[in-house]
Structure 1
Amino acid sequence: MLDLNTIQSAVDTAHRDFGQAPGGANADYIPFLANIPSDLSAVAVVTAQGDILSAGDIHYRFAIESISKVCTLALALEDWGAEAVQQKIGADATGMPFNSVMALELHGGKPLSPLVNAGAIASASLIKAKNTEDRWSRILSMQRKLGSAHIKLSAQLNESEQTTNFHNRAIAWLLYSAGYLYCDPMEACDVYTRQCSTLLTTVELATMGATLATGGLNPVSKEQVLSANNTPRILADMTMEGLYDTSGDWAYTVGLPGKSGVGGGILAVVPGVMGIAAFSPPLDEVGNSVRGQKMVASIANTLGYNLYKS
């Protein structure tokens, strides 16, 4: 049985020790993100029983960005099953930056991972939908079911993203030309950009992690969101590509499936136990929150959670 006082102490210590750690800088290639106050920081744990423990700026809503890729992957798995998603997108790390065109060229246009931009655009195109708005509505609904009903699109962030997403548009056309895109390329890119432009809190992000930890049962809403057979596939992809170029380092030092976003969020999952989330805007050179990594790692280490420990 988890001792909630012990968990809260670990959360408080992580925020106290690393919530204002130096280093990093806000993402500046998306104007909206460049203007977020860089001193914001928060950390939260949601247990498999639905207990919530948190510290810091927990009410601040930040951009989900690439963490949205986990939600769309989850929906694609529900729509098509694990074998089809592996065949159509892949389940391997690219070994290259998250927006790499070279990775596509080296692998015949197959994106390899649903957690890089190419794979996430392909995931969005896979979602069963009647039209663009239906596709978007189903993806937003999945984010809400995994996190909370309060997650919503930021029109300002979406505009900032849509007017700077030329590289992703090129990736979409490359996927289409290679046969690895499953709807109109610009529709897929538009919906993918929207999915990255929603806002959520650190507690809502930790709830997403807890839902993955419990085999798809949201421990706060008590809704069975995902098939239990699909959650191990999601956690495997998070382990291989969840923190971009440093995913291997994260697995080596922390030992938990994780996912980061350039909005400053970071998520880790302790299967069967809890989701751990943190937020702070300054990023390292590959796009991971500097403070977020330290806060999540501190909690995992203090509580003794590492998948590779006997």
Structure 2
Amino acid sequence: MSSSLALAVDFGGTKVESALVTADGELVPGSRHRAPTGRAATSEQLQASVREVIEFALTAAGERELAGVGIGCAGPIERSRGLVSPLNVPNWRDFDLRGFAASVLDDRGVEATVALEMDGVAITMAEHWVGAAQGVDNVMGMVVSTGIGGGLIVGGRVITGPTGNAGHIGHVEVADIVGEETFGKATSLEAIASGPHTVAWARREGFAGATGEDLAAAYAAGDPVARAAIERTGHAVGQAIASATALLDLELVAIGGGFSQATPDLFDVIRTTIAEHYFGFVRKVRVVPSGLSGEGPLIGAAAIVHRSELLPPL
């Protein structure tokens, strides 16, 4: 195992986590730590949480030299300047997260380069590195959970776009289906197919549960509304993947996130939807569950450092 370590940071809408990750994509035992974020957190509280997790990882590293610091952050971001504006963290708009992380290192006397990418990009890099997309060079990684995000590798290279937000599959339009309004768009994939929005649709149809776990249990028990909700979500995700494949000629889509695990049948609905497309090159795309555990976002943040050659230059 290589001794080269990346300090990985994953920043999301409910928590920020850090860990040390080897050049083989393995978390160093005892180096993982999390702190809260959240919609109600002030900028000062968010900064304190980021500082806490970085300092924990630095302490775990001891005297070992770091290959760099990789940050995966909920979008949108501004890649060239290291700025973040996570949709579900309203008190950070154009916050210089890359610069703040660098200042934490400076305070500890640590010299290391800090790199920041959208979390969907990070998770896709993790799947390509040690997950379900190993050996495949035209890939979309997706997360279906509280929100829906994604990232792209095309021709063996990560596609970030000039702002760093390429692959934001949750905010594409899905024709013929109308969900709840999400950031002004009731027809976006996330408005229809995220866990909370799927549950909300089911509740309007008479479902008595309140969570994705409740919906999954009801689906397993044969509840017709729960089954209709999962089929609706799978159809929307399948439509979005078919459209992305028509645009990019993808070979594989790896889907993770808590709600993607509601039932294996969700993947059957997605695949059936894609199989109905009229283009053979669209129908050929493989849709598979993530090959990563809950460590995936941190492995992805580390991939920003350990697999930086796949990224476009800043």
Structure (1 or 2) with the greater helix fraction? 1
Structure with the bigger RCO (C-alpha within 8 Å, sep 6+) is: 1
Q: TM-score range by the shorter chain?
A: under 0.3
What TM-score comes out, normalization by structure 1 length?
0.28
> Larger Cα Rg: Structure 1 or Structure 2?
2
What TM-score comes out, normalization by structure 2 length?
0.27
Structure (1 or 2) with the greater strand fraction? 2
